[in-house]
Amino acid sequence: MSSTIAESTTQSGITTGPLSGYVVLDLTRALAGPHAGMMMGDLGAKVIKIETVGTGDDTRGWGPPFVGPAENRQATYFLSCNRNKLSLSLNLKDQEHKAKLEELIKNSDVLMENFRAGVLDRLGFSVQTLHKLNPRLIILSITGFGHDGPEAHRSGYDQILQGEAGLMSITGSGPDDPQKVGVPIADLLSGMYGAYGALAALLDREKTGRGQVVRTSLLASIIGVHAFQGTRTTVAGESPRAIGNHHPSIAPYGLYGCKDSKVQISIGSEKLWQNFANAFGLPADDPRFTNNSVRVENRPALNELIEKAFSGYNASDLLNALDAEGIPSGKVRTIEEVYGWDQVKSQGLIVEVEHEVLGKISLPGPPLRFFDPATNNETTRTVHTAPPVLNSNAQDIEQWLISRRENN
């Protein structure tokens, strides 16, 4: 484990995490890799983000929206995936800068990259070279379509992979209305899988003493979450298609209209069905509805009866009535409503950071929490750093390297 300079706590909260003491060298751009790096930073790792001299990560220019002064505007896209990192600009075609990168590699635990296949090799940093510099290094490599195979050469962009990997065919109002997910889900999933793989490789290193290469792709990440839609195809021989806001295998389960809005319900057991039907005057013993399989087959008729039963309710009253009967239900919130929701705030899902240009800003927070039963205390990192301004940590990183040289 490489050493870092960090205090465990401050007066305002915890600044470390389970990866405190590990160093991650983040050579990635856009979203998939940066999201993986941010996850490692959220867990306490020292994450050094290597950026192109002058321009930085591509996402620094992805907008609008941009915020801040006109002469130093900041892209909110970049802010979404780069908290808890340090920024250093390097030109990997410059010999002096390559020497700096080599020194960083020697002092890191994990290197993350999402270059197109062969690019890092051409820059002089093949897997063999990286492991010669640091045999304990974990290398996380993320591509679009995979590292080998007949289409490994293709560039991977989120929406293209949502289509190519089948996700758009099962998302939308119907079979003729393919829709992408409202966030870059292939990028985010591949970043999550990548971080998960890197952590597993770090654990394995404890046994072997050697680093290894972890590979994933946007294609793999979407297929990895096909779940029951995948086995419908591989086992049952079906070809799933989009059916809008209703579950293909459970009924009733979906979005229903009421007097002034729409609500969602999830009836996942026969006991819930009986309770739901009795509470809202539905024919529970109708042969079309006596079990889940026949309810799925007769979904249009069932949905019509449910919306008729809901038609006299305002959404707020309906949700109260459903909750009183123990029926899983919910509203459809806007993103703005989500960040104003007390439950979200209570879970630490909004964090405040001090940005060098923007001052105090709020960011979506990390999704993991940690608790130590021995001390009965939460050990979740609660103090976070803002996404860095380009090359703003060059001096700090140089001082850290100097200290490493002196200690070795």
Rounded to an integer, the average pLDDT of 402-407 is 90
> CA dist 142 to 108, 139, 147, 242, 276, Å?
18, 10, 8, 29, 46
Residue 2 has pLDDT above 60, yes or no: no
Q: Which of 45, 182, 186 is nearest to 114 (CA)?
A: 186
Q: Which of 226, 242, 222, 225 is nearest to 234 (CA)?
A: 226
Residue 136 has pLDDT above 50, yes or no: yes
Rounded to an integer, the average pLDDT of 167-173 is 97
Rounded to an integer, the average pLDDT of 90-119 is 95
Rounded to an integer, the average pLDDT of 123-143 is 97
pTM here is: 0.92
31-45 pLDDT, tens digit each: 999 999 999 999 999
Rounded to an integer, the average pLDDT of 232-249 is 96
Residue 331 has pLDDT above 60, yes or no: yes
Q: What's the pLDDT at 12?
A: 63
Per-residue confidence at 6, pLDDT binned at 50, 70, 90?
A: very low
Residue 126 has pLDDT above 50, yes or no: yes
Distance separating the N- and C-terminal Cα atoms of the chain: 14
Residue 47 has pLDDT above 60, yes or no: yes
Residue 7 has pLDDT above 80, yes or no: no
For the question of residue 177 being annotated catalytic, the response is no
Q: By percentage, how much of the chain surpasses pLDDT 90? A: 94
- Angle of helix 32-42 relative to helix 185-208, nearest 10 degrees, comes to 50
Structure token pair of residue 269: 């057991």
Residue 9 has pLDDT above 70, yes or no: no
* Domains of the chain listed by start with CATH number: 9-225+348-407 (3.40.50.10540), 253-335 (3.30.1540.10)
Exactly one of 187, 204, 323, 396 is catalytic; name it. 187
Strand order, beta sheet including 138-143: 86-89, 46-51, 23-26, 110-113, 138-143, 213-217
259-317 pLDDT, tens digit each: 999 999 999 999 999 999 999 999 999 999 999 999 999 999 999 999 999 999 999 99
- Contact predicate 27/50, CB 8 Å: yes
Per-residue confidence at 53, pLDDT binned at 50, 70, 90?
A: very high
CA dihedral 354, 26, 144, 237 (to 10 degrees): -80
- Contact predicate 308/282, CB 8 Å: no
Residue 8 has pLDDT above 60, yes or no: no
